[in-house]
């Protein structure tokens, strides 16, 4: 097929919708939408050992959500605290700050953010130059395709949430574990060693081969990026389900990099929680794209699974979506039977592949 004749077929727009998705409106058999505040809190309890783990997710940009972290920490009264920030973050964040913006300005003047930007530690040999070129080419392609705002990087910088957790641990003489920043030296070393580091192939997948529903939802996000600030997006849109969509989309586009940036970090923090943190009540304040991975590993290690109601494959979708999908199925079936002269072997009206694909990150 010539590129000039390439055209996407618009059938339906269901993408990464799941049973408890915030995309859905409240109706019979469906859960009500959850706010960002509600969906970034996970409380886990081992029924045998009575060990508790409170995971608080943050996007590092909301002063309101930061005070929510402070309030929940005081209510939970943890015996040990894990914070996803560098070991020198407590020293760089000393003082009283009334907002996230004040803290970020202080981190800039103190040199903490500059240190994060210098994390790759390139020696400027041939291999390092190739890595630097590929890394910046991939950043440029991602920002060009998704139209992400210029201050997108602030989502990955420790914020007021982390400071409140650190202050609570230090004021109460609790065990404090610093899990490291998202984009630290170890992560850059992993990216440098990854052989599949090509920006051209992901762009080809996005423009030519990605599922229509994922493509349309990506386009929806581009519209949001063009009309909202990063802080507004963090406070309004980045709930648990939207972040799960982003993690899944990242896996589709850059699967090898996703293993390094997200999966490896999930495993490192989980091992830290299990092996280094003490006490029956543990608190972990992490970037919210790591919440699902840590919860999944914790449940697997403690033998606790999420009980989900049985599903036949389609009842968790809005009626108009199912109807649009079935119109496309029936149209294709009629055309195939017309061409071949034989009836199709099955007339099953389930969307089981859809559910299996898009629920995998909730298991």
Model confidence pLDDT, tens digit, residues 50-81: 899 999 999 888 888 899 999 999 999 999 99
Model confidence pLDDT, tens digit, residues 188-206: 888 888 877 777 777 777 7
Residue keyed to tokens 């052989």: 195
Q: pLDDT category, 358, cuts 50, 70, 90?
A: very low
3-state helix, strand, coil in the chain (%, to 5): 55, 5, 35
pLDDT reported for residue 280:
93
Cα–Cα distance for residue pair 222/148, rounded to 1 Å: 7
CA proximity to 75, closest of 277, 283, 270, 279: 283
CA proximity to 154, closest of 42, 96, 230, 216: 230
pLDDT reported for residue 265:
93
- Average pLDDT of the chain is 77
Model confidence pLDDT, tens digit, residues 85-103: 988 899 888 888 888 889 9
Q: pLDDT category, 44, cuts 50, 70, 90?
A: very high
pLDDT reported for residue 308:
55
Model confidence pLDDT, tens digit, residues 316-356: 556 666 666 666 666 666 776 777 776 665 544 444 444 44
CB contact at 8 A, 179 and 82: yes
Whole-model pTM over 0.85: no
């Amino acid at each position: 097929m010539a590129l000039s004749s390439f055209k996407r077929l618009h059938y339906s727009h269901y993408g990464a919708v799941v049973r408890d998705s915030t995309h859905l409106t409240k109706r019979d058999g469906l859960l009500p939408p959850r706010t960002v505040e509600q969906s970034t809190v996970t409380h886990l309890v081992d029924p045998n050992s009575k060990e508790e783990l409170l995971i608080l997710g943050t996007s590092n940009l909301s002063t309101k959500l930061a005070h929510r972290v402070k309030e929940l920490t005081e209510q939970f009264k943890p015996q040990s605290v894990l914070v996803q920030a560098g070991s020198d973050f407590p020293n760089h964040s000393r003082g009283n700050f009334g907002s996230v913006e004040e803290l970020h300005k202080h981190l800039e003047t103190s040199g903490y953010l500059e240190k994060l930007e210098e994390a790759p530690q390139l020696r400027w040999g041939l291999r390092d130059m190739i890595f630097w070129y590929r890394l910046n080419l991939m950043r440029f392609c991602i920002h060009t395709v998704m139209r992400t705002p210029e201050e997108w990087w602030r989502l990955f910088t420790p914020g007021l949430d982390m400071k409140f957790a650190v202050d609570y641990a230090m004021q109460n003489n609790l065990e404090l574990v610093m899990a490291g920043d998202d984009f630290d030296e170890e992560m850059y070393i992993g990216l440098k060693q990854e052989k599949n580091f090509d920006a051209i192939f992901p762009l080809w997948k996005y423009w030519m081969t990605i599922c229509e529903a994922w493509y349309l939802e990506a386009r929806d996000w581009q519209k949001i990026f063009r009309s909202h600030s990063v802080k507004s997006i963090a406070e309004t849109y980045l709930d648990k389900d939207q972040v799960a969509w982003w993690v899944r989309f990242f896996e589709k586009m850059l699967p090898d990099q996703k293993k390094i940036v997200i999966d490896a970090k999930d495993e490192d923090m989980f091992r830290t929680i299990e092996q280094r943190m003490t006490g029956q009540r543990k608190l972990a304040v992490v970037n919210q794209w790591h919440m699902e991975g840590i919860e999944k590993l914790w449940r697997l290690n403690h033998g606790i699974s999420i009980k989900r109601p049985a599903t036949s494959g389609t009842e968790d979708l809005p009626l108009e979506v199912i109807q649009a999908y079935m119109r496309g199925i029936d149209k294709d079936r009629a055309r195939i039977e017309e061409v071949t002269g034989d009836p199709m072997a099955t007339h099953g009206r389930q969307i089981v592949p859809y559910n299996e694909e898009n629920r995998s990150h909730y298991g």
